[in-house]
Amino acid sequence: MFSNAGIPGGLFSSMADVTLEDFERVMAVNVRGAYLCTKHAARAMIGAKTRGSVLMTSSMASVMAMPNGPSYTASKHAVLGIMKSAAIDLAQHGIRVNCVSPAGVPTPMLIDAMRKTFPSFDKRCAEDMLETTMELKGLTLEAVDVANSALFLCSDEARYISGQNLVIDGAFTSCKAFSTANSMDFLPIKSFFDQLAARNSSKSQNGTNGQLPPQ
């Protein structure tokens, strides 16, 4: 069973500004969803006496604080806790439980969330942003990379792996930490968004599409 549903919630909202409505909505999807999927999958597997596998999608925000995203960060830490607890409880039934925790992926969900602040934000902008900020250069994390990691953890090749959080981040969390004050203070991100804000401004002035220039 693969619990893969999740939402980012409001981006660029500090702890002092995030609304209770946003917090509860993110927790309902990201945490309650993972909990219920795991609970009912466990019941089915135990009832069928199946040595099954349960996998949840968390995030690199499960192992580091993500400023201006307290709802999302809290939810992904909670998913990691559910995974670890379930791995211990279900081990006696031969059921494995793990997480995959990717860094940013240029998906429609990310692009739509960013467009609320930067209307011209598109897939190319997402790829440029991730290439700028991530540690592993020369490629961008794609959905297929996460899918391949998920397939491995669910396969017999990972038959003795349980209670693990596979972080797919190109070494980012091994050496980086966002500013505790504001993610915009992290220099590569600040530089990128300064450029993007300038493109959005020029779009309204001269009718351009607001995209970043070729690198």
The string of DSSP codes covering 80-138 is HHHHHHHHHHHGGGT-EEEEEEE-----HHHHHHHHTT-TT--HHHHHHHHHHH-SS-S
Does 74 map to a domain?
yes
Instruction: Show the domain range for 77.
Output: 2-106+139-176
pLDDT, residue 194, reads 64
Averaged pLDDT, 79-91: 98
| Residue 114 · residue 125 · CB < 8 Å | yes
Angle between helices 123-133 and 187-206 (to 10 degrees): 150
- Summarize pLDDT for 90-109 with one digit per residue, the tens: 999 999 999 999 999 988 88
- Summarize pLDDT for 189-213 with one digit per residue, the tens: 556 666 666 666 665 555 544 444 4
Task: Give the bridge partners for 54, in sequence order.
Answer: 97
Of these residues, 62, 75, 76, 101, which one is catalytic?
76
Domain CATH number, residue 160: 3.40.50.720
Averaged pLDDT, 67-74: 88
Of these residues, 58, 72, 75, 162, which one is catalytic?
72
Q: Provide the Cα torsion 133, 101, 183, 115; round to 10°.
A: 80
Q: Which residue has the higher pLDDT, 151 or 11?
A: 151
pLDDT at 50 over 80: yes
Active site residue 14: no
In whole angstroms, give the CA distance from residue 60 to residue 72: 11
Work out the widest C-alpha separation in the chain, in whole angstroms: 66
Of these residues, 3, 59, 71, 162, which one is catalytic?
59
pLDDT, residue 186, reads 45
Angle between helices 70-90 and 33-47 (to 10 degrees): 10
Does 24 map to a domain?
yes
Active site residue 72: yes
Q: Which residue has the higher pLDDT, 14 or 155?
A: 155
Does 32 map to a domain?
yes
Does 129 map to a domain?
no
Task: Give the bridge partners for 102, in sequence order.
Answer: 168
Does 34 map to a domain?
yes
Does 182 map to a domain?
no
Indicate whether this model's pTM tops 0.85: no
pLDDT at 137 over 70: yes
Does 73 map to a domain?
yes
Query: Domain total for the chain?
Result: 1
pLDDT, residue 116, reads 79
Q: The tokens of 35 are what?
A: 């909990």
Active site residue 76: yes
Does 112 map to a domain?
no
CA 62 to chain centre: 9
